[in-house]
Structure formats: C-alpha cells, structure tokens
Amino acid sequence: MLGNLSPGDVGHLVISGPTVFPGYVTDCGRDGFVLGGQGKLVDGWLDTDDLAWIDSDGFVHLTGRAKDLIIRGGHNIDTAAIEDALLRHHEVTGAAAVGRPDTHAGEVPVAYVTLAAGAMITGDELRNWASEHVADKAAAPKAVTIIDALPVTAVGKPYKLPLRADAARIAAKDALAGHAGIETVTAALEDGSAVVTVTLNPSADRQAVEKTLGRYPIASRLEEAS
C-alpha cells in the first residue's frame, strides 16, 4: 500500500497478506519469546522501509530506502535521484548520496563517488554536473567527494553509515574552522549513529566550541588533548 498517491509520486511502501508475520524469534526471555522487528507491523501492515511509486498500470517500482531520505528544511530528497544523475557521467563508476548536518536546513545533500581509471574530473565539476542533471533542484549536492571505494557490507550491499559519519565530521570541521585550539575533528559510528569527537588544546574556548556545535544536529563530544 502506498496511500493516496498519484501515479509517479514516491511514497512509503507497506504490505499485508497471509505471509506477513510479527518477526523472527531472536531470544527467549522470562516473559516468553522475543521477536525481532517489533514496531514494524501495525494492524497487519508491515512497514518495509522501502520507498516506491506506482505506475498507471498498477505496477510498483522500488526507488530506495526510507532511512536514506535526506530531509532538507522539511523537503524530502530521494538519494537515488542524486546518485542516478552522477552515474550518468561517463567517468563516474559509483555514487552514494547522504545528508550532511546543516545549521539552517537540518541537513543538505552531499555525494561520494568513485571514478574510472585515468579520470581527470574534479569533485567541483561533478557537483556542477549533478546540479544540472537532477530534476529536483533542492537535491543538487552541496559537495561531491571523490574516494577510492564506496563502503559495502560483508555481503556487498551499499553501506552509507561511514559516509554519514564523514559528512558529519566535515560539517563540524568547517563550523569550527574559525576557532583557536582545535587539535583534531574525527567521527566514528557508535550504535549505528555518527558521533563527532573534537580534541581541544588548552587555548581553546570550550564554551564557544560547544555553542557552535550546538547549532548543528550533530552528536558530539569534546576531549582534552593529552
């Protein structure tokens, strides 16, 4: 079910039927079996976390995962639109778009790409390319970063969490560029979320750093340089 959408509109896909069940047994506690996936089944409808659209013939087309949505100032951006635009460039071999924390919009789109051997194009040139080729101008990436390989899971599926962490690191580093006493700005994944760590030397104004970081939707911690 995609709700009351017009053909071509993207929505959140939920399904129901005789094969839908509450979840797999993951443990056995004092109160009985523990099922995984709790909260995904409501009134017999399973939240798939997939984004999809339905054509005029009633066929459902999957476009991406809801968790990959970038919400820019309340506007939902499907990362697939950015990635498809970049992949249309003949020197791009892989692309992944994520949200970078932003003080005004909450997050803005950025992209990471891999290039063909011998490619000479720059990230700024690809950012301009994507801006010209995405249908939704709000989806135009603010930055395109060229990397050697896109992260994947153990079974080869795209894995965007490290890219989100890097985007958060860059946002924090840029925000703190005018502050004295910043030794390092790093980011790591903790319980599936990006946490930025800022290392300060004694000359840093800790309160000013905390105030600056507080303007961004970034989980962060401050540490003293050893």
pLDDT in tens, 81-113: 999 999 999 999 999 999 999 999 999 999 999
Is the pLDDT at 153 greater than 80, yes or no? yes
The structure's pTM equals 0.76
Same domain? 84 vs 133:
yes
Same domain? 132 vs 178:
no
Per-residue pLDDT averaged across 132-156, rounded? 94
Same domain? 76 vs 140:
yes
Confidence band (pLDDT; 50, 70, 90) for 164?
very high
Same domain? 80 vs 105:
yes
218 assigned to some structural domain: yes
Cα 113–chain centre separation: 14
Same domain? 90 vs 121:
yes
Per-residue pLDDT averaged across 219-224, rounded? 95
We report the CATH number of the domain holding residue 212 as 3.30.1340
Same domain? 119 vs 170:
no
117 assigned to some structural domain: yes
Tell me how far apart the alpha carbons of residues 137 and 73 are, in angstroms, rounded to a whole number. 14
pLDDT in tens, 107-138: 999 999 999 999 999 999 999 999 999 989 99
Measured over the CA atoms of residue 136, residue 78, residue 70 and residue 190, the dihedral's sign is negative
Confidence band (pLDDT; 50, 70, 90) for 177?
very high
pLDDT in tens, 9-54: 567 778 888 888 777 787 887 888 777 755 577 777 877 777 777 8
Count the domains in the chain.
3
Which of the pair, 23 or 151, is modelled with greater confidence? 151
5 assigned to some structural domain: no
Q: What is the Rg, in whole angstroms, of the alpha carbon atoms belonging to the chain? A: 21
Domain interval for residue 25: 10-68
156 assigned to some structural domain: no
2 assigned to some structural domain: no
Structure tokens at 143: 């930055």
Q: What does residue 127 show for φ and ψ, rounded to 5 degrees?
A: -60, -45
Is the pLDDT at 67 greater than 80, yes or no? no
Q: Which residues 6+ apart lie within 8 Å of 88 measured at CB?
A: 133
Same domain? 28 vs 91:
no
Same domain? 78 vs 18:
no
